Amino acid sequence: MATDPDCLFCSIAAGSMGVEFVYADADVVAFRDIAPKAPVHLLVIPRQHFRDVRELAGDPAAGAALLAGVAAVAEQERLPYFTTVFNTGAESGQSVFHVHAHLLSGSGQIWAHG
């Protein structure tokens, strides 16, 4: 499994940062965002290193596992609704270049377009 020794989220997924997992399975881990933007703000990440969703798209099984992880976390945490965000590229606000789903809930509509 490809990991990057210089990547913060690879280190978190490996358990070496002491971050508590809200959810973990063979493919993904989820933990609380250090700077929450909503009452519930979790990050769901693959254990394997992918830079962003574009790179993740090259491994459809890993992409499906990440989405399954999002759904599993939401079910475990009994979230009746949630918003999922993937920032891609620094200009979008991506600051950690290990793909992560922001899973936000608990304050109604969080994001809208148009």
As annotated, the active-site residues are 100
79 touching ligand 5GP, by CB under 6 A: no
82 touching ligand 5GP, by CB under 6 A: no
7 touching Zn ion, by CB under 5 A: yes
Nearer to ligand 5GP, 61 or 93 (CB): 93
Distance CA 10, CA 113 (A): 32
98 touching Zn ion, by CB under 5 A: yes
96's contact among Zn ion, ligand 5GP, none, with CB below 5 to 8 A by partner kind, is: ligand 5GP
Residues lying near Zn ion in the complex (CB under 5 A) are found at 4, 7, 9-10, 49, 98
